[in-house]
Amino acid sequence: MRTAFVTGGSRGIGRATVLRLARDGFDVAIGYRRDGEAARRVADEVNALGRRAILVHADLGDAAAVHAALDGLLTEAERVDVFVANAAATAFKPLLESKSHHVEKTFAITVQAFLQIVQRLAPGMGDGGRIVTISGMDTHRFVAGHGVLAAAKSALETLTKYLAVELGPRGVTVNAVNPGYVDTDSVALYFGDDAQRRAFMDELEGSTPLRGLGTPDEVASCVSWICSPEAAWLQGQVIYLDGGIFLAAPGHSPRWWKQSGRG
């Protein structure tokens, strides 16, 4: 039986990915840090789909806790065929206000824990193994307060490419998905105020050729394809799943083009 491990699997993109992989026939290990109740609800949904759910509780910022969690996971599952690195955390601050512990925590979760998990799981994956990292649009353009997280996600994309070269001869693929803005509770938390969020979304809709906001299910569908046999020749790529937001230059959005009478 194939097993997938998804960090940050109790909500948002992680939850959607867990459920999609379960529908694809995987047993799924659900990584979570704090909200055990939410993780158990997702596990119940996996079980209702006829697949086995394994709860993996760990603070990814603590290397010893990660080691213990992986011990438990590999006791429950003989091997892990798919690893989706989705978890991330940071303090949203300007770089000049970021403290050393903010930097250390962000990189510990996004970079150090990722590499620790890969070092443990990849040797047992074998041909057909899949590693998928979830990056962010802050690696590609400025997002206020995201400087430290963007640096960590950029490092994650670099590790994705290096691991693709190192693990390719084993038959393991390593790729990244870089979503645009996705409608999750993290987006609501980032803006806090509903009026601010609505104003931002209006601006975003006017700057995106297709649609300003994606859904967790759309990201999960992309991850699902990367983990399928059909994507066996995809290696070391960063897939931008963003509605085309990176294509529009400031001042030349689709809305501007239409209002100018040219569209």
CATH number for the domain harbouring residue 159: 3.40.50.720
Strands 27-32 and 130-134: unpaired
Residue 203 lies in a domain: no
Q: What is the pLDDT along the chain (263 residues), one digit of tens a residue?
A: 899 999 999 999 999 999 999 999 999 999 999 999 999 999 999 999 999 999 999 999 999 999 999 999 999 998 999 999 999 999 999 999 999 999 999 999 999 999 999 999 999 999 999 999 999 999 988 888 999 999 999 999 999 999 999 999 999 999 999 998 888 877 666 666 677 777 777 777 777 888 778 899 999 999 999 999 999 999 999 999 999 888 875 544 545 445 555 45
CA distances from 79 to 51, 62, 63, 206 (A): 16, 23, 20, 46
Q: DSSP for 61-128? A: T-HHHHHHHHHHHHHHSS--SEEEE---------GGG--HHHHHHHHIIIIIHHHHHHHHHGGGT-TT
**pLDDT attached to residue 211:** 78
> For residue 238, what are the domain limits?
3-188+214-248
Alpha-carbon distance 172 to 175, whole Å?
10
Residue 11 lies in a domain: yes
Residue 195 lies in a domain: no
Residue appearing with tokens 């949904």:
45
Q: Is 4 helix (H, G, I), strand (E, B) or coil?
A: strand
**pLDDT attached to residue 144:** 86
pTM score, two decimals?
A: 0.91
Residue 199 lies in a domain: no
Residue 224 lies in a domain: yes
- How many domains is the chain built from? 1
**pLDDT attached to residue 187:** 66
Alpha-carbon distance 42 to 252, whole Å?
42
User: Edge-to-edge, what's the strand order for the sheet holding 27-32?
Assistant: 53-57, 27-32, 3-6, 82-85, 130-134, 173-179, 238-241
Backbone dihedral angles phi then psi of residue 64, each to the nearest 5 degrees? -65, -40
Residue 145 lies in a domain: yes
Residue 197 lies in a domain: no
**pLDDT attached to residue 203:** 74
Residue 172 lies in a domain: yes
**pLDDT attached to residue 55:** 98
Q: Is 240 helix (H, G, I), strand (E, B) or coil?
A: strand
